[in-house]
C-alpha cells in the first residue's frame, strides 16, 4: 500500500459531526489526485480493505469512482448498514453504478416501493415454484455438461458462463430464441459489463454505449414476448412473474415484469457463475473434497427432487466455504438519504457508503486461519460462522437480502450433480487463481483446469 503514498493528502475527517452529538468524524483521505483509490480497490480489494482497517479502523472514507465513499468494514458495521434500522441508507448507491442498465430492478428500489415489489416477487420463489424450476433445469444442465470437451487447459469459467446462460434462458425466459440467441446473449453481456465501466458516458464504441444499446434490445425482446407469457400457464420465471401475486392480490404491470426480468437475469447469472468458479477452483485444488462430493452425489438420484437437495451435506459445506473465500457480490453500495451514524461515526446525508462481506469473510479477527479452505468450519460441531450474525453474509442481509438464495444454491447443487458424475478436474500443484475485481470478482485467467471424462 506504499505506492503513491507521497502523493496522498494527509488524513482528514469526511465532515465535522454536529456539535454535542457525541459522534466522531469519519477518518480517511482522498487518495491519489483525480483517481483517488479507484485503481487500488479494483486491483487488490482485500489487501486494500486490510490496509484501510489497520490504518483507520472499521469506518473510513476515500475517493473512488468519482465519489467520496465511506467503507464500512467488519461484521458490526455491515449489520448496522444492511439492517438499516432508521432507514437512512438507500439503494441509490447501486443506482449510481448500474442504474441506467438495470433501472427499477428489485435491488434498485427503496423502502415502501421495494416492499411492495418484493412481496409480489416472493410468490415466484416459493418452495413449489423452486421445485418446478429444478425439474425444468436438470435436462438442460445434463446435456450442456455432457457437451463439454475435456482438455488440458479447459477454460472452466467460460464454459460455466455459457452453460448457466443457456440454463437461464430455459428456466427464466422459457422462449426458444432460435437465431435471436446471439443478439440476446450479446445484449445481456453488454448490459452487465457496462455497470462498472471506467468511462461513465455513452462514448461511441465504449462499454457504456453498448450497455444502453443492450438494455434497449432486452426491453424490446421481453416486451415482445410478454403478451404470450401473460396468456400462458408455463412454469418458467418469466411466466410466473406475469402471474405472481402478493398475499393481498397485488400484481406486476407489464413494465414491472420487463424491468424485473432484466435485473433477475443479471442477478442470477453472474453470481452463480462466480460461485461455480470458486467451487470448481477449490475442488480442483482439493481432490479429497472432490471425491467426497462425488461419492455423495452418486448416492443420490441422478434427477434430483427438491427434497433430495437436503441429502447433500458435504456439497453444502463446500458451497459455504467457497462463497466465503470468493464472494460473488463483494461490494454493497448504499447512499445516505439523511444524516446518520455508523459505529459512532457521523455520516452526512448524500454520502456513499459501502459494505464488503468478502473482506469480513477473510478477517483473522473472526475466522481462524481465514485464507485456508476448510469446509468443516461450517459443520455442526464447529460452526465458526456463528461467531457473529454477519461474519458470513455472501447473500447480504436486511430487507434486500438475496431473494434468489435458495434458487442459487439449488442451481449450484444441480450443476455439481452433473459435473461430478461426468468429470474429474484438477489444477497444477501450487496454482492460485488470480481474481479480477474490476467488476464482480471473476477468475482473471478464466480458470484453466485439466478436465477428464469419467
Residues of this chain that interact with ligand HEM (CB under 6 A) are: 106-107, 118, 264, 267-268, 271-272, 275, 328-329, 332, 394-396, 400, 402-404, 407-408
Tell me the H-state helices in 2-63.
Answer: 38-43, 45-56
Q: Nearer to ligand HEM by C-beta: 267 or 297?
A: 267
Q: In what order do the strands lie in the sheet with 352-355?
A: 59-64, 67-72, 352-355, 332-336, 89-90
Cα 229 from Cα 245, distance rounded (Å): 15
Q: Nearer to ligand HEM by C-beta: 210 or 417?
A: 417
Neighbours of 32 (CB within 10 A): 19
Q: Nearer to ligand HEM by C-beta: 377 or 400?
A: 400
Smallest separation, CB 393 to ligand HEM (Å): 7
Cα 404 from Cα 329, distance rounded (Å): 13
Residue 197: what are its φ and ψ, rounded to 5°?
-70, 150
Q: Nearer to ligand HEM by C-beta: 29 or 84?
A: 84
Cα 316 from Cα 63, distance rounded (Å): 38
Smallest separation, CB 265 to ligand HEM (Å): 9
Smallest separation, CB 111 to ligand HEM (Å): 11
Q: Nearer to ligand HEM by C-beta: 366 or 390?
A: 390
How many Cα atoms within 13 Å fall on the side-chain side of residue 241? 29
Cα 398 from Cα 387, distance rounded (Å): 18
Cα 67 from Cα 306, distance rounded (Å): 45
Smallest separation, CB 102 to ligand HEM (Å): 10
C-alpha cell belonging to residue 45: 480489494
Cα 391 from Cα 327, distance rounded (Å): 12
Where do the DSSP E strands lie in 356-405? none
Q: Cβ distance 42 to 97 under 8 Å?
A: no
Smallest separation, CB 52 to ligand HEM (Å): 20
Smallest separation, CB 369 to ligand HEM (Å): 23
Smallest separation, CB 92 to ligand HEM (Å): 12
Smallest separation, CB 394 to ligand HEM (Å): 5
C-alpha cell belonging to residue 322: 467457497
Q: Closest residue to ligand HEM, Cβ-based?
A: 404
Q: Nearer to ligand HEM by C-beta: 23 or 393?
A: 393
Smallest separation, CB 123 to ligand HEM (Å): 13
Q: Nearer to ligand HEM by C-beta: 29 or 133?
A: 133
Q: Nearer to ligand HEM by C-beta: 23 or 70?
A: 70
Smallest separation, CB 117 to ligand HEM (Å): 8
CA distances from 425 to 132, 324, 419, 441, 454 (A): 30, 22, 9, 22, 10
Instruction: Look up cell 455442526; give the residue.
Output: 380
For the chain, what is the radius of gyration of the CA atoms? 22
Q: Nearer to ligand HEM by C-beta: 189 or 403?
A: 403
C-alpha cell belonging to residue 362: 477473510
For strands 67-72 and 59-64, give the pairing.
Answer: antiparallel
Cα 167 from Cα 138, distance rounded (Å): 9
Q: Nearer to ligand HEM by C-beta: 32 or 277?
A: 277
Amino acid at each position: 500500500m506504499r505506492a503513491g503514498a507521497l502523493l496522498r493528502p494527509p488524513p482528514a475527517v469526511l465532515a465535522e459531526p454536529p456539535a454535542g452529538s457525541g459522534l466522531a468524524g469519519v477518518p480517511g483521505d482522498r487518495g491519489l489526485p483525480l483517481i483517488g483509490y479507484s485503481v487500488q480497490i479494483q486491483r487488490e480489494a482485500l489487501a486494500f480493505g486490510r490496509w484501510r482497517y489497520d490504518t483507520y479502523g472499521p469506518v473510513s472514507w476515500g475517493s473512488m469512482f468519482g465519489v467520496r465513499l465511506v467503507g464500512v468494514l467488519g461484521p458490526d458495521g455491515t449489520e448496522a448498514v444492511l439492517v438499516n434500522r432508521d432507514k437512512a441508507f438507500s439503494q441509490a448507491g447501486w443506482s449510481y453504478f448500474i442504474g441506467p442498465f438495470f433501472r427499477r430492478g428489485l435491488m434498485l428500489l427503496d423502502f415502501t416501493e421495494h416492499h411492495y415489489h418484493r412481496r409480489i416477487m416472493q410468490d415466484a420463489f416459493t418452495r413449489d415454484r423452486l421445485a418446478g424450476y429444478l425439474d425444468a433445469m436438470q435436462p438442460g444442465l445434463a446435456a450442456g455438461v455432457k457437451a463439454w470437451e475435456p482438455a488440458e487447459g479447459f477454460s472452466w469459467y467460460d464454459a460455466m458462463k455459457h452453460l448457466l446462460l443457456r440454463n437461464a434462458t430455459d428456466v427464466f425466459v422459457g422462449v426458444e430464441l432460435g437465431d435471436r440467441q446471439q443478439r440476446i446473449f450479446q445484449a445481456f453481456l453488454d448490459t452487465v459489463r457496462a455497470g462498472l465501466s471506467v468511462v461513465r458516458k455513452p462514448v461511441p464504441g465504449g462499454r457504456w454505449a453498448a450497455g444502453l444499446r443492450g438494455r434497449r434490445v432486452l426491453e424490446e425482446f421481453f416486451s415482445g414476448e410478454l403478451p404470450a407469457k401473460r396468456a400462458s400457464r408455463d412454469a418458467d420465471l418469466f411466466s410466473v412473474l406475469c402471474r405472481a401475486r402478493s398475499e393481498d392480490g397485488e400484481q406486476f404491470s407489464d413494465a414491472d415484469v420487463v424491468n424485473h426480468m432484466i435485473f433477475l437475469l443479471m442477478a442470477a447469472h453472474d453470481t452463480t457463475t462466480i460461485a461455480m468458479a470458486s467451487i470448481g477452483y477449490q475442488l480442483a485444488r482439493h481432490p479429497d473434497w472432490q471425491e467426497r462430493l462425488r461419492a455423495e452425489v452418486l448416492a443420490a438420484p441422478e434427477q434430483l427432487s427438491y427434497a433430495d437437495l437436503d441429502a447433500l451435506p458435504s456439497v453444502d459445506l463446500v458451497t459455504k466455504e467457497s462463497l466465503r473465500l470468493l464472494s460473488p457480490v463483494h461490494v454493497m453500495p448504499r447512499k445516505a438519504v439523511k444524516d446518520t451514524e455508523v459505529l459512532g461515526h457521523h455520516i452526512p446525508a448524500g454520502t456513499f457508503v459501502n459494505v464488503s462481506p468478502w473482506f469480513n469473510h477473510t478477517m483473522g479477527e473472526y475466522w481462524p486461519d481465514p485464507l485456508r479452505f476448510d469446509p468443516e468450519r461450517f459443520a455442526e460441531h464447529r460452526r465458526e460462522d456463528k461467531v457473529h450474525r454477519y461474519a458470513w453474509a455472501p447473500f447480504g442481509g436486511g430487507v434486500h437480502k438475496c431473494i434468489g438464495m435458495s434458487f442459487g444454491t439449488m442451481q449450484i447443487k444441480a450443476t455439481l450433480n452433473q459435473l461430478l458424475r461426468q468429470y474429474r478436474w484438477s489444477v497444477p500443484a501450487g496454482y492460485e487463481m488470480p481474481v479480477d475485481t474490476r467488476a464482480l470478482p471473476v477468475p482473471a485467467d478464466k480458470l484453466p483446469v485439466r478436465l477428464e471424462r469419467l
